[in-house]
């Protein structure tokens, strides 16, 4: 999914794409749902392959929360751009987690 962010932020903005909350909200919601589903599947698959003890339930929940934290922290985007994209895009790019700045600041 972060590869799609790379295309939007590096390629399409270069061709004149203008940011609009009309398309961005749908895209961000879909992006979030992919992370939540992947986290749920990872936790569930671990639980299925385990002894299903109380400890394994905690590890499954930890897997789910780890994947969700990648989404909430925007780390998946940062990792993609830094390691595969050759660096972060310019400051005029609107990241999906940009509204969090207004709430929490730096």
Which tens digit of pLDDT belongs to each residue from 1-37? 566 666 776 677 778 878 788 877 888 788 888 889 9
Which tens digit of pLDDT belongs to each residue from 35-58? 899 999 999 999 999 999 999 999
DSSP 56: H
Binned at pLDDT 50, 70 and 90, residue 82 comes out as: confident
Cβ-proximal residues to 97 (8 Å cutoff; 6+ apart), any chain: 72, 73, 74, 77
Q: Which residue carries 């830094």 as its tokens?
A: 82
Instruction: Determine the 3-state secondary structure of 44 from DSSP.
Output: helix
């Amino acid at each position: 999914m972060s590869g799609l962010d790379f295309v939007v932020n590096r390629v399409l903005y270069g061709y004149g794409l203008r940011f609009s909350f009309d398309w961005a909200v749908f895209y961000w919601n879909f992006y979030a749902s992919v992370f939540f589903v992947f986290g749920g599947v990872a936790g569930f698959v671990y639980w299925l392959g385990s002894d299903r003890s109380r400890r394994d339930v905690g590890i499954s929940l930890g897997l789910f929360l780890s994947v969700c934290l990648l989404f909430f922290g925007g780390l998946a985007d940062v990792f993609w751009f830094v390691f595969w994209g050759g660096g972060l895009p310019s400051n005029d790019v609107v990241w999906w987690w940009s509204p969090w700045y207004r709430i929490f600041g730096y």
